[in-house]
Each structure stands twice: as C-alpha cells, then as structure tokens.
Chains A and B, each alone.
Chain A
C-alpha cells in the first residue's frame, strides 16, 4: 500500500499534493511561531499604563525581581489593599473579575507573557544587580494596557545584550557567553 502511495506521489498531481501539504505544514508552523509572540488572553484586562501613571513602582507589585529568579505576580490581597478603597472597583465591569476573585476567595488565573522555556535558567536578580532597568527588556509600560513583549525573547536577543555588556573585557565576555550561564 505504501509503495503505490509513493508511486502516486511521483505523478504531477502527486507533486502538487506534496507541495500543498508542505505549504500547509509550513504556514501552520509559521502561524504557531507567530502565536508564541502574541500576548495571550488574560482573565483581567490589566492596564499597566494606568498603574504606572499613578506612580506605582514596578517592584511594588513584582518584588521578586530584585530578590530571585521570578518577579512574581502580585497576590490579590495586594491588589485589594488599594482597590478596596477605590469606589470604581465596586461598579466597573472591567474590575468585576478582581472583585469576584477576592470575594469568592479563588485565585486569578493569569497567563505569563514574558516566559522562557524550562531549559533556560533566567534570573531577574542578576540583571537588576547589573543595573538594568525593567523597561530595557520589558518595554515602555507607560504605553501598554495588557503586557506584550516588545521584542522576540530568544537566545540571539539575550546574547546580543550579553556581548555588548562585556565590552572589551575578555573574562566577562567568557562568563556572559558561556552556555552554562543560562543552561544548567
């Protein structure tokens, strides 16, 4: 059966079928890749720009960034500490999910956007300690509603910055471009 199938593929119609199949596969894969870079649906349409405009520092809600690998998502207890005192929280449809979560005591299921695969050991703390600011990687949050990655977060992007940071210092270059720095 397989043999007749391969014979058929060698016919002109078969070649066209192979071409179409390849195109379909390629475009689905391309679409998949494109999707990885899109901001996903979130349970709450969280407006970063509004919060930043109020003068709230990044580290107030994401204090883990200065302490360890993960910046963290704030607990709803932290959200509620301010929102509890804001009249609009009681009435706004956009804020209803927060209110429901706090009253129902159920966790909000956020979808992380800036994540790297499991084989990458990313640590925020080292980057903060090196004097990087949040917006250098995460973009200008004063302009964003739901967070989107400002660029593709892949290894080339990481390494560009690492090489730049090393400058002329050869020892630093070795440390910053070593595989084991991020993959261990």
Chain B
C-alpha cells in the first residue's frame, strides 16, 4: 500500500462500521432476545416484578446502623438506611452503600479450606476440626479473637467460654485503636467514677470544641454524628452553631469547622486546660482545681496558638449556653492521651452540660446490657500476643477482624501466630488472616446472615439492632454461630450444655425473647414467634426512652489534671499522624466503589499518600508525587507525597486503609499500611500512642503519580513553592 492511511480516514471507516453494526444489531432479534429465570420456589411474600425490602444491620463497621436492603428476584440490589432505626434514621455512609460489593465480591472464600490442600473441605469435616480443637485441648489453650461489634456471636462464644472455662473472647479492631476508645472510657471512669463511652449531643450544642475527634468521617458513629452536625448547623429555629476543630492535620471535620486550629501535636492537654482556665475566669467564682495549675502564656507559646485566639475561643465557650468539648482521635493517641481526654471532659464539667441537650452524657447501654464492654486496647492485645508467642494457646479462632493487617507489625502478631498450633479463620474474604490460617471456614457475608448487634453509642435510646439474611447465601459458606453450635454438640459434655440450640436462629430467638415482657419497647408481642417476626420487620428493638446517663459533675473539676506535653518516640523531625480513611478503613479496600471514591480532603483515589505542607516540601525540594521514604523507630515505608496546605509544616500524615498483601484483586498491592511505622508505645489507658511518634523523611528520587480528582496544579499549585 503506497498511500498513508490517516487517522482521519481510520475514524471515518470506524464510524461507518460502528453505525452499520448498530443498525444491524439494533433491529436484530439479539437485542430483544433475553432469558428469564423464574424462581424455582418463590417465597409467598414476593410478587413477580416487585422488589422485596428487608431490614437488617450494616456490618461494615461496628457502629451498627440499620439498613433496608432492596432485593429483586432474590438478588440484593441497593442498600439504604432504615428510617426507623434510632441510630441513623435512614442515612448511611459510603461504606454502608458499598456493602453490596462485599456480597458480590469475586474474591470471597467459597468453600471451607484447609491450608496446603488443593481441594475444598466439606462442612462435616470442618465441624469435626472445630469440635476436635475444642475437645482435645485444655480450655485455657483455646482463644477466640473477634471484631469490634458486640454482636450475637460474641454472646454465643462468651456463653461457651463461661461454661467450659475457655478464654473469654477478646474483641479488637483498628477503628477502635485509632479512636482510642479505651482512653475515652477510662477518662470517663476517672472523672465520673463509672467507665462508659461518652456521648456528645452535637446537634443540640451551640459551641463545639473538638480536640482531634474526626466525627464526620470515622469517629465512633460517623452517620449519627453527621446527623448531629446538621443539627448544629441548622439555623431556622435557633442560632447556627459553631465548631472549632483542634488538630495538626485538617480532616474533613476540620474542613467543615468554622475555625481550624493547627496546634502543635502533644499540646492538646495544655490547650484544653488553658481554655478551661480562661473560661473559668470569665465565668467568675473560684478557679476549679482542674485548671488551676496551667500557665496560659506557656500553653499558648508551646502549642503555637496566639493568646488572643485562646482568649477568643475561651470567651465563646464561657458565654455560650450550649458549650460542648469533644476529645478523640489522634489527640488521645499520644503518651499523655488520658490527660488530654480528662482535660477535655473537664471542660464539659465547667460548661455544666452533663445530661443536658447539647451536652455530654454516658451512652445508653443496649437493652440487655448491664455495663459497657469495650473492645480490647492495643496494650491488652500486646498481652494477648505475648501469650500466643509463649505457646499458651494451641487453638486461635479469628472472626470479624483481620489482625495480620489491623495490628501494628511491631506488636508481633505475625511471628507469635507461628506458635499457635491451629489458627482457624472464619473470614468471608481471602484476607491476610485467611492466608496465614491453617483452616478457613468461611462465614456468610453480612447480607446473607442472621444476627443482632448492640449499638454502643450514637443513639439516645438503648438499641438492639437486628440482622437477617436479605438473600440466600451464594456460596458454600456457613454461619460461624452454626459451626460453633454444631461443633459444641459434637464435642459433647460441657460444650454441648453451653450451646443447647438446634441452630443460630434458635439461639437468636432465645436471646431476643428475653425482651418479650419489656414494657417500654418500640414494639411488643404476645409470643416469642411474633416478637421475632417484628424484630426482623423493624430491624431491631429499642426502648422508647432516653437511656443516656448524666455523669455526676461533682468530682470532675476537683481533680488536678497534669498539663504535661506528650513525649514523642523516634529520632525524626516530623510529627507523624496516621488517620483512618473514611472510605477504606480496615475492610473497605476490596470494594472498587470505595477505591474510586475520592478522599474528602485530598481527592486521591486507589493509593496511599503522605500529606506534607507546601513550605516543608519547598524546603526539602519535594514536589507532588515525589516518592519519599518515611522512617520511624519501628519501620520504614516508601510512598508519594501529596502537598497539602492544611497541615502544620512540622507534621506529616498518612491514611490507614491500603497496603493489603491479600484481600482480593482490588485491594492487593496497592499503597502502604501506616501500621508498619507504629512502634510499641502506649498511653496510660493502654491505647496505642499512634500519633506519638516522630519520623524522618528521606528523598528517593523516584516519582509515582497519584490518581486524584482535582488537577495537580489546581487550586493550590500557584505560588506554593513549585517551579513554574
């Protein structure tokens, strides 16, 4: 061929071809030729062509929001919030919406697996393995590690442990670690005499000071707190409320705040006490002992906040009728995290808001609960891992948590697990734990499963959230509760006595039926069967009362609180703040919808980045997308830089959520896990001092472009040190 075939010619011909194809196929029978598979046995309550809706509970995080799932011809097609559910009132977060992609995930575990065997096991053999593990080991050699959610399986295993002398199950999750839940509840215990999870009525408040609590993204119960925030902002019937966020790295909550105060990490306790002292001076009267010891000028200089700013915030706080202070997140994940929590909670005592609208109280306990049962702190996990390493456990069951990913490397779960003879995972997905386990006995996905879950915080009422299957299980999976019941029956003796149920549903009915006689519930029923039917229909049971408890204000201000600066581990010059990605977190990375969802503050997708102030980047001659090496005293990671103006120049930050080495095709080999940088540093309450480290930054000379929604030059490119 002598003549060139130009691009234009190619496009013309391609267009002609496409048009012809469209005409031919569009008119052809293929477009109208479809196949319909009717139900083989149609449930009598379904109607052809009409959707059926089921109420259940979201299992993506431990908050326990209610869902209503739309199903069509036996397939789940959309999740929405349950409008009746007191926690989320019909709303969900992105993770709840994406739970369908967990259900239909191509990398689920489809059959029971024995490590090293090419063929799947059958369930009878699997149950025999569990029964042997229970029966052939001493009770104290069997341990159960579970996810953060206080659910029916936790009750079932607790019952089993109580009856047989097995170790009580331990609950852990990375979200709880990064929220510093243990610190929060211990601070409440120290100040008010009773440990519980504090509840902050953001919606009713007028002035909210948040010390690191990222309550719009991940903290405790983000959907409920987001609803609270809309109440704070509402200005039709009341004055629009004000939010002041104290944090070194601006989160989405900081971005929404009226004032973002980038204080020096480690000075949160000082700042809270200084604001308390200034506010107490404005209010007049005797200076409370809690705030007496702090030097305001010293606090201002150490924290890098101007004295006028502190005075102005203290003025707002003192003069408002609805003042509220919230401690959380990175502020508590430091060596003095407990003092920070106490200092901030003491501000609420000063505002005298306990139990009032817009104030602080202790969260309502679930209907069948007598005391708050918090997930394990990192320190407790360290003890657990030491027992593992010492060969104290012969069998470890893992359900609902992925310790190989969620625990910091430095705690040594990986090496300790080598000393456990049998590691049995109940994971739904092929995650890191399933990869390391000797056996994987897959549980159903949350949308295929029965259950209930206690709502730990976020709702006014005591709530027991109900879960039911919205679709039949797709694969050869089995509910872990059913596996445990069957294995206990097989093992006989005290095991069989502990779990005298035919199956999971009978266990649930027995537990839920204890609420039957309660008078002040969201519904009542004449018999257990009707009660269970309503429980499924409404998605749970809750009391029609305010179950929150006002703490006693007396002692809170009369304790002196130390206002020391936090101590930082490591040699580097930068404060290091790991934060939880609101979409990916501990288990979102295998859902492409969530991977593709831009991060709210940086718009980065599909990757991990290091946030660095433009000034710092300029000084170090680092540009956007330059790969740097972050070195802490526990490890090192390489990742690209995102130049972020909303962070202190002496601080770098990194999201938690990526860096999976297993967990399916969408999660694997993507980004890094900041857990690899965290050392064994704890605060007084036993939570990990994850924000109490300093790191070094080394250039690598490499470049790796981050995919992001905004343009790189974009809003921030101009005049921020980049060479043009």
Q: Are B48 and A70 in contact (CB under 8 A)?
A: yes
Partner of A35, one of B29, B41, B49: B29
Contact A68 B50, beta carbon cutoff 8 Å: yes
Contact with B along A108-121 (1 / 0, CB 8 A): 11111001010000
By a CB distance below 8 angstroms, the chain A residues around B47 are: 63-64, 67-68, 72
- Does any Cβ of A come within 8 Å of B119's Cβ? no
A-B pairs with lowest CB-CB distance, top 9: A70-B49, A72-B48, A64-B48, A32-B28, A32-B27, A35-B29, A107-B37, A73-B38, A109-B35
Q: Are B36 and A109 in contact (CB under 8 A)?
A: yes
C-alpha spacing A183/B36, complex, angstroms? 23
Known contacts A40-B33, A63-B47; 14 further A-B pairs (Cβ under 8 A)? A1-B4, A4-B3, A25-B24, A32-B24, A32-B28, A67-B50, A68-B49, A71-B48, A75-B41, A76-B38, A77-B41, A101-B40, A107-B39, A111-B34
| Also in contact, A115 and B34, with CB within 8 A (given A1-B1, A64-B49) | yes
Bound complex: CA of A93 vs CA of B716, how far in Å?
A: 75
Is B23 interfacial (CB-CB < 8 Å)?
Answer: yes
B32-75 vs A, CB cutoff 8 Å, 1 = contact: the mask equals 11111111111000011110000000000000000000000000
Distance, CA A1 to CA B26, complexed state (A): 30
In the complex, A28 has a CB within 8 A of chain B: yes
A127 to B500, CA, bound (A): 55
Q: Is A143 an interface residue (CB 8 A)?
A: no
Interface size of A by Cβ–Cβ distance < 8 Å? 37
In the complex, A101→B39 CA distance in Å? 12
With A64-B47, A64-B48, A67-B47 as given contacts, are A28 and B24 in contact (CB-CB < 8 Å)?
yes
Find chain B residues with CB under 8 A from A33 CB: 27
Say how far A132's CB is from chain B's closest CB, in angstroms.
18
- Do B36 and A73 have beta carbons less than 8 Å apart? yes
Q: Shortest CB–CB separation between residue A129 and chain B, in angstroms?
A: 16
Question: Shortest beta-carbon distance, B578 to chain A, in Å?
Answer: 47
Complex CA distance for A36 and B26, rounded to whole angstroms: 10
Q: Would you call B9 an interface residue if the criterion is a C-beta within 8 Å of the partner chain's C-beta atoms? A: yes
Residues of chain B contacted by A2 (CB below 8 angstroms): 9, 12-13
Q: Is the CB of B230 closer than 8 A to any CB of chain A? A: no
Which residues of the other chain, B, contact A29 by a CB distance below 8 angstroms?
Answer: 23-24, 27
Are A110 and B27 within 8 A (Cβ)? no
Q: Does B494 sit within 8 A of A, measured CB to CB?
A: no
Tell me whether A72 and B38 are in contact in the complex, defined as CB-CB below 8 angstroms, given that A1-B1, A33-B27 are known contacts: yes
Instruction: Pick the contact of A36: B9, B12, B29, B50 (CB < 8 A).
Output: B29
Question: At the interface, yes or no: B20 with Cβ under 8 Å from chain A?
Answer: yes
CB distance from B27 to the nearest CB of A (A): 4
Interface string of B4-33 (1 = CB under 8 A from A): 110001001100000010011111110011
Q: How far is the CA of A141 from the CA of B134 in the complex (A)?
A: 64
Contact present for A25 and B40 (CB under 8 Å): no
* Cα separation A105 to B40 with both chains bound (whole Å): 7
Contacting pair A76 B27 (CB below 8 A): no
B38 partner residues in chain A, CB cutoff 8 A = 72-76, 107-108, 110
- Bound CA–CA A4/B3 (angstroms): 10
Q: How many A-B residue pairs have CB under 8 A?
A: 97
Cα distance A63–B41 when bound, in Å? 15
Q: Within the assembled complex, what's the spacing in Å between the Cα atoms of A1 and B5?
A: 7
- Contacts of A55-82 to chain B: CB distance below 8 A: 63-64, 67-78
Q: With A29-B24, A115-B32 known to touch, is A63 a contact of B48 (CB < 8 Å)?
A: yes
- Give the docked Cα–Cα distance between A76 and B36 (Å): 13
* Cα distance A70–B5 in the bound complex, in angstroms: 52
A38 interface neighbour in B29, B36, B48, B49, Cβ under 8 Å: B29
> Do A108 and B23 touch (CB < 8 A)?
no
A74 to B82: give the CA distance in the assembly, Å. 32
Count, chain B residues at interface, CB 8 A = 30
- The dominant DSSP class at the B interface is loop
Give every chain B residue within 8 A of A70 (Cβ-Cβ).
Answer: 48-50
Write out the residue numbers on chain A whose beta carbons fall within 8 Å of the beta carbon of B24. 25, 28-29, 32
A108 touches B37 (CB 8 A): yes
Knowing A1-B1, A105-B40, A112-B34, say if A72 contacts B49 (CB, 8 Å): yes
| Residues 293-322 of B at the A interface (beta carbon under 8 Å) | none
Who on chain B is nearest to A41 by CB? B33
Residue of B nearest to A33 (CB): B27
- Please determine whether B28 and A75 come into contact, CB atoms closer than 8 angstroms: no
- Sampled A-B contacts (10; CB under 8 Å): A1-B5, A32-B29, A36-B28, A38-B29, A73-B36, A107-B38, A108-B38, A109-B35, A110-B37, A111-B33
Check if A35 sits within 8 Å of B48, measured CB to CB: no
The CA-CA distance from A71 to B40 in the complex, in Å, is 16
Residues of chain A from 1 to 48 with CB closer than 8 A to chain B in the complex: 1-2, 4, 25, 28-29, 32-33, 35-36, 38, 40
Distance to closest chain B CB from A87 (angstroms): 23
Give the chain B neighbours of A40 by CB distance below 8 A: 29, 33
- Closest residue on chain A to residue B42 by CB atoms: A75
B20, closest chain A residue (CB): A25
CA distance A115 to B32 in the complex (A): 8
* B9: contacting residue among A1, A25, A64, CB under 8 A: A1
B29 neighbours in A (Cβ, 8 Å): 32, 35-36, 38, 40
CB distance A77 to B49 under 8 Å?
Answer: no
Which residues of chain A are near B26, meaning CB under 8 Å?
A: 32
B residues in contact with A117, CB < 8 Å: 32
Q: Smallest Cβ distance from A21 to chain B, in angstroms?
A: 10
- Give the residue name and chain of the B residue nearest to A77 (CB): B41
Which chain A residues lie closer than 8 Å to B23 at the CB level? 25, 29
Closest chain B residue to A79, Cβ basis: B38
Chain A residues with CB under 8 Å of B25's CB are 32
List chain B residues, Cβ under 8 A from A63: 47-48
Q: Which of A1, A64, A107, A111 is B40 in contact with, Cβ under 8 Å?
A: A107
Chain A residues closer than 8 Å to B37, beta-carbon distance: 107-110
Contact residues of A between 156 and 183, Cβ < 8 Å to B:
none
Q: Using CB atoms, name the residue of chain B closest to A64.
A: B48
**Closest B residue to A111 using CB positions:** B35
Q: Do B35 and A110 touch across chains, with their CB atoms under 8 A apart? A: yes
Instruction: With both chains docked as a complex, state the minimum distance between the C-beta of A29 and any C-beta of chain B, in angstroms.
Output: 5
Residues of B contacting A112 with CB < 8 Å?
A: 34, 36
B4 proximity list for chain A (CB < 8 A): 1
B20-A76 in contact (CB<8A): no
B262-309: which residues lie under 8 A (CB-CB) from chain A? none
Considering the chains assembled together, what is the distance between the CA atoms of A37 and B3 in angstroms? 47
Instruction: Give the Cβ gap from A156 to chain B, nearest Cβ, in Å.
Output: 17
> Across the interface, which residues of B come within 8 angstroms of A78, CB to CB?
42
Knowing A2-B9, A63-B48, the reply to whether A36 touches B32 (Cβ < 8 A) is yes
Q: Which residues of B contact A25 (CB under 8 A)?
A: 20, 23-24
> Is A110's CB under 8 angstroms from B5's CB?
no
Chain A residue nearest to B50 in the complex (CB): A68
- A153–B34 CA distance with the chains assembled, in angstroms: 17
What residues of chain A lie closer than 8 Å to B1, measured between beta carbons?
A: 1
Shortest A40–chain B CB gap in Å is 6
Determine how close the nearest CB of chain B comes to the CB of A78; give it in whole angstroms. Answer: 8
Minimal Cβ-Cβ distance residue in B for A2? B9
Contacts of B13 in A (CB 8 A): 2
